[in-house]
Structure 1
Amino acid sequence: MEISQENFTPLMRQYFRIKEQYKDAIVFFRLGDFYEMFGDDAKIASNILGLTLTSRDKSKENPISMCGIPYFAANSYIEKLLREGYKIAICEQIGDPKTSKGIVEREVVKVLTPGTFLPEGTKENVYIMAVYPQKTSNEQGRMGIALADITTAEFIVYETEKNLFDEIVRFEPKEIIVPKSLEDLLKFENLINQRMFTLFDDWKFDYMLAYKSLIEHFKVSSLKSFGLEDFHPAIQAAGALLRYLEENKQETQFKQLKVLNLSDFMLLDGTTKKNLEILSSLDGQKEGSLLWVLDETNTPMGTRFLRNALSCPLLNKAEIEERLDGVEVFFKDFVLRENVDRVLNDFPDIERLGLKIKKENISPRELKALKEALQRIPELKKTLQLNNSPVIQNLLNSLYELNEVVSLIDNALADNPPNTINEGGIFRDGYNSIVDELRTLKNQSKDYILKMETEERIKTGINSLKIGYNRVFGYYIEITKPNLKLVPSHYIRKQTLANAERFETKELKELEQKILSAEERLKIVEEELFRSLIKEISKNTEQIFKSAETIGYIDFLCCLAKVASKYKYTRPEITEEEVIEIVEGRHPVIERLIQLGKLPEQRFIPNDLSIGSKDQRIIILTGPNMAGKSTYMRQNALIILMAQIGSFVPAKEAKIGIVDRIFTRIGASDYLGKGQSTFMVEMIEVANILNNATEKSFIILDEVGRGTSTFDGISIAWAVVEYIAEKIMARTLFATHYHELTDLAFSYDCIKNYTVVVKEWGDEIIFLRKIQKGGADKSYGIQVARLAGLPQQIILRAKEILKKLEKKEFQTFQSKAKQLDLFFQGDPVLAELAKIDVENITPQKALKKLKELKEMIRND
């Protein structure tokens, strides 16, 4: 409902005039020490922030809802609103209340969005993404993507044919800018409802406008130097992102335009990231994730490097080896590792501080933190110089000591500088004579007045003369009436009282002006000096950025070496061959949880994996629930991933043939709200794997087909394994309770059967957690049910039913032959196999029949 402003105060008219320009944002309107919100903004904010909702102009027919927050505590409130997806327009007083006629002038100085706000203490990248899909006749084209982190001045562009969801999972942006024309497209329908998506006018993605914006921003004559000239969708996305940031008053001079080559990195889709618990556990916590185990970084730059490495594992052997070489140096040199760890402990975020220097919006306290960080670089270099390996020498070449910057800051700043530049007290005594004089005036004004009073008594001979002050008349000299005859001629009468006269002198007036304006002038002078200091330091921002990047990489290498030493990881061998050989591999997270006593097992049981050779590319893994099949599959996927980020791995030995993608299909997911059952989600995930995997991929599939009837499930699982064996040849671990699938090993040389060993003691079973060749002959489901605590009556009845079903199982299987045409149609070998009476055939006949079947396969 539109509000009539006819009877509003000038202040509220000012507010609504500003609100009209920022309709899609909650306006934080500065009034004194508070940010106030009005109308619908107040209703939204009060609900989310738990504020008391009041009203302004209660006497009017339609009072205006309002609520407010203290400006000095605004960050925590802002963060809550941004997490809910709202934009916030910060409206400040830009006029001086002392000189303003009427209400103080105000304007929006910044618009905060989910992708342009840095939460307190975060070490992660805060990405904002823009997307522009290429339009083609069949609506299948490349997608241009631009990413920016305004807190680190990163700007990344690339193009991809992958789906948008995969790219969102890869970088986890806080906000995504898309053209308005995409709003009604089905492929964005489920996503647009989320507040992280911001619709932006299509014309703002115009190619020519975008191209011009990019060359102006990065100060180049063309985009050829970036290899971006022919990447039209990427250019359009990048230009729109720059415009969006500019419109929201988030002007940032990005360090460089980085063109990402996706062929250099492994893509981890959302399902794989979730199933492997790479950055967070299944319940969304850091604890229980791979990041939790590996993250012993000391610096925010190192933490970001580690997170990015885990999200984008490398595909280039030389680059992986380079990282492994670095980790090995720190791994072998304990003294180096300990000293670097000590120097980098609680190291400030000089990458973000460097950007604040470049943008000239750093606070005095942050500048001191930068100085303290830069002071550690000489010690870091001295520590590194004790190791003469080529890796360390390369790192030393990228570290700058910046002693001049340290001296500049140290000579200028007070020992305990303020957090803002308008508080005063920024500079140390002796740094600037004007500051010293004004500070002395401010702090010693009483002494100056007493000194002048004493001097005037002596000059005039009036012992009762006194100098006083009031707000109306300022400073004055008061002389009683009996002494008026002694008043000097240069005294100027100011005020007459009953028993005295008040005077002023030129000297007193000048001192008064100095004293009264000293504090205000001091702040102005200190602000000007501070800005000059920042300009001088900003000449070194490129060296600060380079040093920050190098320190982050050193921290990353040292962290992985520390973890490897602590948990007995080994260096993997990286090869271009497709073989994966892991000896005594362990699950890094489960092992750590056991060590901390958070899981009941006494120790982790390691296992081997050999896969990738022509005669063993697919492993059918059978065994009971709870035996460790899922752990085994996940640990091997994690070992591969760790190796390809350049980390040592939890294994006695490991030879890793580079994997282009890791695919997982584990567990049950239900999206009933979107009309997708558990089984439908399972089939969608399996389809994604089969459509995108290559022979260089690594696939783990757990219980495919369990969400439907037995024969449908077996049929699907069987066909999936056949398809991988015949069409893809990816290295695959396929865990199943369908023991019938172990028969596939007779038909395909590349398929082998493995099982998880259990030991039976009557009705008891012991999980040995060991993987060995062969197939399980049963699932031990009833024993597991007994361990879970099902009533004894149910256990006994289940055994009776199982015996009957096992007796009829094969006959039932044969009677359903029509349902199993998927297996047998047109295949004489499988048809012959189906005729075998496994209940009555003798071992000798079985061997003879097996030879016949193998001969049939050779002749086929």
Structure 2
Amino acid sequence: MAQKRSRYQSSKVVSKSPSDHGNVRPFEACHLGWGNNDILAVKSPSTSLEGGPKPVKKARKKRQTEVVASTVTTDESPAAVSLEERDDSELQPRNQLAREILANLNKFPHCILLTRVGQFYESYFEQAVEVAALLDIKLTTRKWDGQRIHMCGFPLMHLDKHMKALIQHHKRFVAMCEEFPKFVAGARYFERRVVRVITPGTLIDESFLNPYENNYLLAVHGDADVIDANGVGSLDQKKIGLAWIDISTGDFLSKLSSLDTLRDDLVRINPREIVLDHRLQGLPSHPVRTILEEEDSFVSYAHLPTTKEPPLGEDHPNAGHEATASDDITEQTDDNNSTAPTISYTPQEENAFNLVTAYLHGNLLENMPTLNLPNREGNDGRMRIDAHTIKALEIRESMKEGGVKGSLLSTVKRTVTSSGSRLLGRWLCSPSTSLHEINARQTLVAFFHARPHFYIEDAGRIVQKFLLGKGGPNDLMALGNTIKAWGSVRQLVEDERRFEMQEVPHLSSQDWASIDALMSRLSELSSVQQRVDLAFRKEIDDSESDSEGANDEELVEPGGAKIRTAWKFGHDKWLINPAFSEELTTLHENLKNYLWQREQKELELQRRFNAPSLTLRTSPAYGMHVHLAKKREQGELNKAEAFISIAESGTTKCYFNQEWSHLGARIVETAQALEIAERDACELLRNEVNEHAPQLRRNARIVDELDVTLGFAQLAKEMNFVRPEIRDDHSYYVENGRHPTVELGLLTSGRVFTPNTTQMTPESRLHIITGPNMAGKSTLLRQTALIAILAQTGSFVPADSATIGLVDQLFSRVGAKDDLFHGRSTFMVEMMETAEILRKATPRSLVIMDEVGRGTTVKDGLAIAFATIHHLLTVNRCRALFATHFHELADMLGYTGQQENPAGSGVFKDVTFFHSDVQDIGDDRFAYSYRLKAGINRDSHSLKVAQLAGLPAKCLTIASATLDCLKHGEKSTRQEESMVHSEFWTTT
């Protein structure tokens, strides 16, 4: 396989860092702009503004010296030495870059160190071997202090691709060492320092960060007895503090959990990285470690901050300072609610967010923001959905597809913003149990459902970028447009209200109460938008735009390198409006004047020397020079004393001219000053955004709610959903309910979903459902649970009508599979799930259970199924759907066989029986009847399913005869038994 080409396959490479090889300065560069479209203007040391040109050979010699100094060799080099093989005298190499790399490797031994060198990121010593293997890039060596060391690297443009591989695929920490140019006494050198350690839970604005999902970093911390314990026992109820933050959005939350509920919280929060107290690192059998291992969590460790153990390196500005929550966490402020009650946190929660803050300190370093106190998430007010149910109901991702496609989230998602999609995912995994909150959301959905013409940037992440010291002009412009959109939403609501009042004067204002409450929480931020608009509004005459040099020819430098003119100073270069500040206005006027002088000077020289091809240019090799493209026009210029030839190639020739050098220097200096002024202007705007960060975040959250509720309204319109009535009781009535995901799948293939009605009351709170395989029992169970989830998130539901009593917890025992890695069979997994349901379900809970007792002998399974039903009915007293193939349960529960009253008797009078069936349609064909009927179906029709699956005819014949024999029992004739045995032995 051919090796990938890279910078390091060449034996001669020009270093991008003069400080690494003495003070060799082939040219001095300055960027004339801000952002990704920087234009490089250069001043060549081969031309002196005061003393005229330097010999070309000397400049060439200097460049050759640099090339030799940065020679890198490939695989033919002698074996590279490791850090351990270096002598003590070599631990402090003479090379500045090597000293910096060794120092950073010692400071961050747990990280892969990537060092910025010019336009490349490079890795050295033993880490280079590992990095080259992980990223499948070329490994080579270089010579430092007489010895060869390993190195590899990749271009700056490939950073995101390789970071994704290192962090998301290989789960490695990456320390980013950036370079910063410094000028001392006119000489430029580079300072390098690690500015950030990137981990899976501390992504900020990387391109591979999923915009539709939160990237949470979760800290787990408990009391001393939880931390120090090494066994389970009575620890189940011990309190554990959780604190989780999405550093890319600023979302910060906390809650009190326990070992018993930790697994459920992990699946619901879905963190990308988990931080534990460092004391747990040596306790692999600790119950917290065991739970995290079973959930395949990515775990890191950190010290709680103390004065004795600062979380930062000694060179960090905050080193030696005790980093506590009070240092980096401020109280949340809300301009509209200054009297909000103070949040009370438990000691476990305080330890958790101190732990997560210390971890961020040690990794974000210079990018560490000031955090608000976390929003406390109580155990009340939210429907608890256990870990297995979130997976089994495919709320967030499909078990079959392994992604969002086919999940409830993908089915109901109609949001138009990425932040709205993230909020929708949180709502679905944690529905509300507050009647007020549910009704408020439903009212918004109904409002937009009746007004389809209302349909409208991820502001949360943009604001967080600025708080982290990041973000550029594009982010500022996007934020300005977002604030403008918020104003448009408010205006649209006001216009709609006015139009409705004009058309229907007697219209009740109650319809508008919910949207009015939401709009009243929007902060007025037009001043920020106006400042951004002023900064980036272009009001420049096209005639001022300078397009010179666009079609300039190339000049071949001695040595073969091609030189392009770097002379473009058009006004499209600058991002900030000149009218934004007096300084910018003055600098733009000066630059415009100098460019006009350049243009006049060029025209003057063309006329004076009769040389239409003459242009005034700049290049890295020759600095400011006069360029002639045609040889026949060079005669007059060769005779002029003010023009000194410095380069010639073919028909082109370059001359040094002191007057042009002075003018060109002023242009470069003014352009540099403009670049600095633009950066200062952007920094000023960033600071203004940061001052309004609380209001911006609050507005973003409000618009996210609008986005989700608008999406619910659009979904209801498209899929014919209805508004459910939510009650504070234990009822559940859904008329002609439908499974939203299955229905959407059927519609795409031109088929129709068969709805079913489910009604649970205090007198009929447990339903036994029997019927054939593939006849829709499991679908009914799942749709019942999903309708409850949608209803309590505030959405409309797929039904003709629905009345649902509040559900505090949702449990499921469906679709189990073995866990061989932890030594658990399928039956064991099912029993563990059943045990959790029977321990935790309350009278307000909703339970769905499918085929409890399978996987063991018929009698044992039947006994377990009966005992489970008995416990649900008499102890938990919850609403439950129980699908089974144990038809004997009907007799054990006192089923009388009356179609008009398909209920149990005695202690089981609150049990009701329903079933599905198949219909024979002739020619040995059948069809499923998915509509439930009252009663029991004592035939599972499993042989029909086996026939549908394609079992061989011989096999089906034996199965049919055997089933007939088993059904008749002792009544079977000897002829039937003989036939069965004969068929069996013939086939074997």
Please state which band the TM-score falls in when normalised by the shorter chain. 0.7 to 0.9
2:760 to 600, 611, 616: 611
Given the alignment of the two structures, is residue 399 of structure 1 paired with residue 485 of structure 2, yes or no?
no
- 1:270 aligned residue: 387
Gaps of 5+ in 1: 418-422, 459-465, 488-492, 812-860
**For residues 52 and 502 of structure 1, what CA distance do their matches in structure 2 show?**
43
The alpha-carbon distance between structure 1 residues 120 and 219, as it changes in their structure 2 partners (threshold 3 A), is: closer
Per the TM alignment, residue 571 of structure 1 is displaced from its structure 2 partner at its CA by 0.8
Q: Give matches, 1:272-311, under 5 Å.
A: 272-282=389-399, 283-311=401-429
**For residues 186 and 726 of structure 1, what CA distance do their matches in structure 2 show?**
36
- 1:817 aligned residue: none
Given the alignment of the two structures, is residue 622 of structure 1 paired with residue 770 of structure 2, yes or no?
yes
Give the letter for the 1:425 counterpart.
W
**For residues 873 and 134 of structure 2, what CA distance do their matches in structure 1 show?**
54
**For residues 225 and 544 of structure 1, what CA distance do their matches in structure 2 show?**
19
**For residues 83 and 738 of structure 1, what CA distance do their matches in structure 2 show?**
46
2:785 to 628, 637, 658: 637
**For residues 532 and 935 of structure 2, what CA distance do their matches in structure 1 show?**
70
Give the aligned length. 772
Q: Give matches, 1:759-798, under 5 Å.
A: 759-761=919-921, 763-798=924-959
- 1:197 aligned residue: 299
Per the TM alignment, residue 536 of structure 1 is displaced from its structure 2 partner at its CA by 3.2
Per the TM alignment, residue 522 of structure 1 is displaced from its structure 2 partner at its CA by 2.3
- 2:688 aligned residue: 536
The alpha-carbon distance between structure 1 residues 768 and 533, as it changes in their structure 2 partners (threshold 3 A), is: same
Q: Give matches, 1:826-841, under 5 Å.
A: none
Task: Tell me if the contact between 2:538 and 2:577 (Cα under 8 Å) persists in the aligned partners.
Answer: yes
Task: Tell me if the contact between 1:28 and 1:35 (Cα under 8 Å) persists in the aligned partners.
Answer: yes
**For residues 402 and 228 of structure 1, what CA distance do their matches in structure 2 show?**
27
Given the alignment of the two structures, is residue 75 of structure 1 paired with residue 173 of structure 2, yes or no?
no
Task: Tell me if the contact between 2:303 and 2:355 (Cα under 8 Å) persists in the aligned partners.
Answer: no
Given the alignment of the two structures, is residue 694 of structure 1 paired with residue 842 of structure 2, yes or no?
yes
- 1:374 aligned residue: 483
Deviations 1:303-348 (A, max 9, x none): 1221110111011112111111111111122xxx32x31xx2xxx1
Give the letter for the 1:274 counterpart.
K
The alpha-carbon distance between structure 1 residues 273 and 454, as it changes in their structure 2 partners (threshold 3 A), is: closer
Task: Tell me if the contact between 2:328 and 2:369 (Cα under 8 Å) persists in the aligned partners.
Answer: no
**For residues 205 and 810 of structure 1, what CA distance do their matches in structure 2 show?**
85
1:130 to 219, 229, 253: 219
1:519 to 656, 671, 691: 671
Q: Give matches, 1:315-326, under 5 Å.
A: 315-326=433-444
Given the alignment of the two structures, is residue 3 of structure 1 paired with residue 88 of structure 2, yes or no?
no
The alpha-carbon distance between structure 1 residues 233 and 100, as it changes in their structure 2 partners (threshold 3 A), is: farther
Task: Tell me if the contact between 1:664 and 1:699 (Cα under 8 Å) persists in the aligned partners.
Answer: yes
**SS class of match (1:296):** coil
Task: Tell me if the contact between 1:132 and 1:179 (Cα under 8 Å) persists in the aligned partners.
Answer: yes
**For residues 696 and 215 of structure 2, what CA distance do their matches in structure 1 show?**
20
Give the letter for the 2:223 counterpart.
Q
Task: Tell me if the contact between 2:850 and 2:882 (Cα under 8 Å) persists in the aligned partners.
Answer: yes
Per the TM alignment, residue 712 of structure 1 is displaced from its structure 2 partner at its CA by 1.5
**For residues 57 and 156 of structure 1, what CA distance do their matches in structure 2 show?**
51
**For residues 775 and 378 of structure 1, what CA distance do their matches in structure 2 show?**
60
Given the alignment of the two structures, is residue 329 of structure 1 paired with residue 329 of structure 2, yes or no?
no
Task: Tell me if the contact between 2:539 and 2:577 (Cα under 8 Å) persists in the aligned partners.
Answer: no
1:670 to 809, 812, 818: 818
Given the alignment of the two structures, is residue 180 of structure 1 paired with residue 341 of structure 2, yes or no?
no
**For residues 181 and 37 of structure 1, what CA distance do their matches in structure 2 show?**
32
The alpha-carbon distance between structure 1 residues 512 and 704, as it changes in their structure 2 partners (threshold 3 A), is: same
Per the TM alignment, residue 69 of structure 1 is displaced from its structure 2 partner at its CA by 2.5
Task: Tell me if the contact between 2:738 and 2:755 (Cα under 8 Å) persists in the aligned partners.
Answer: yes
- 2:324 aligned residue: 213
**For residues 603 and 192 of structure 1, what CA distance do their matches in structure 2 show?**
43
Given the alignment of the two structures, is residue 428 of structure 1 paired with residue 513 of structure 2, yes or no?
no
**For residues 624 and 199 of structure 1, what CA distance do their matches in structure 2 show?**
52
Per the TM alignment, residue 401 of structure 1 is displaced from its structure 2 partner at its CA by 4.9
Give the letter for the 1:752 counterpart.
T
**SS class of match (2:405):** coil
Per the TM alignment, residue 399 of structure 1 is displaced from its structure 2 partner at its CA by 2.6
Per the TM alignment, residue 714 of structure 1 is displaced from its structure 2 partner at its CA by 1.2
The alpha-carbon distance between structure 1 residues 104 and 90, as it changes in their structure 2 partners (threshold 3 A), is: same
Q: Give matches, 1:811-830, under 5 Å.
A: none
Give the letter for the 1:736 counterpart.
T
The alpha-carbon distance between structure 1 residues 10 and 450, as it changes in their structure 2 partners (threshold 3 A), is: same
Per the TM alignment, residue 724 of structure 1 is displaced from its structure 2 partner at its CA by 1.3
- 1:153 aligned residue: 250
Per the TM alignment, residue 59 of structure 1 is displaced from its structure 2 partner at its CA by 12
Give the letter for the 2:883 counterpart.
A
Give the letter for the 2:489 counterpart.
L
**SS class of match (2:380):** helix
Q: Give matches, 1:482-561, under 5 Å.
A: 511=663, 513-561=665-713
Deviations 1:684-730 (A, max 9, x none): 11111111111211111111111112121111111111121221111
Deviations 1:426-456 (A, max 9, x none): 2134444544554566677565257569999
Given the alignment of the two structures, is residue 602 of structure 1 paired with residue 719 of structure 2, yes or no?
no
**For residues 227 and 468 of structure 1, what CA distance do their matches in structure 2 show?**
66
Task: Tell me if the contact between 1:129 and 1:177 (Cα under 8 Å) persists in the aligned partners.
Answer: yes
- 2:432 aligned residue: 314
- 1:844 aligned residue: none
Deviations 1:455-494 (A, max 9, x none): 9999xxxxxxx99999789789xx999999xx9xxxxx99
**For residues 482 and 617 of structure 1, what CA distance do their matches in structure 2 show?**
107
- 2:200 aligned residue: 114
**SS class of match (1:375):** helix
**SS class of match (2:301):** strand
Gaps of 5+ in 2: 1-81, 227-233, 312-320, 334-338, 498-508, 541-571, 608-614, 627-635, 647-654, 894-903, 973-988
1:36 to 96, 109, 122: 122
- 1:850 aligned residue: none
Per the TM alignment, residue 683 of structure 1 is displaced from its structure 2 partner at its CA by 1.1
- Worse-matched range after superposition: 234-243 or 403-412: 403-412
Task: Tell me if the contact between 1:175 and 1:196 (Cα under 8 Å) persists in the aligned partners.
Answer: yes
Task: Tell me if the contact between 1:494 and 1:504 (Cα under 8 Å) persists in the aligned partners.
Answer: no
Task: Tell me if the contact between 1:148 and 1:156 (Cα under 8 Å) persists in the aligned partners.
Answer: yes
Give the letter for the 2:356 counterpart.
L
The alpha-carbon distance between structure 1 residues 630 and 206, as it changes in their structure 2 partners (threshold 3 A), is: farther
**SS class of match (2:182):** coil
Per the TM alignment, residue 504 of structure 1 is displaced from its structure 2 partner at its CA by 6.4
The alpha-carbon distance between structure 1 residues 376 and 244, as it changes in their structure 2 partners (threshold 3 A), is: same
The alpha-carbon distance between structure 1 residues 656 and 714, as it changes in their structure 2 partners (threshold 3 A), is: same
Q: How large is the RMSD of aligned CA atoms in angstroms? A: 3.9
Q: Give matches, 1:644-723, under 5 Å.
A: 644-723=792-871
Deviations 1:245-296 (A, max 9, x none): 1111241223443111121111222210111111111132212111111111
Give the letter for the 1:235 counterpart.
E
- 1:56 aligned residue: 142
Q: Name the TM-score, length of structure 2 as normaliser.
A: 0.72
Q: Give matches, 1:561-572, under 5 Å.
A: 561-572=713-724
Deviations 1:81-102 (A, max 9, x none): 2213211111100233787979
Deviations 1:759-811 (A, max 9, x none): 23575432110111111111111111111111111111111111221223899
Given the alignment of the two structures, is residue 726 of structure 1 paired with residue 874 of structure 2, yes or no?
yes
Per the TM alignment, residue 634 of structure 1 is displaced from its structure 2 partner at its CA by 0.4
Per the TM alignment, residue 226 of structure 1 is displaced from its structure 2 partner at its CA by 6.8
Q: Give matches, 1:448-459, under 5 Å.
A: 448-449=597-598, 451=600
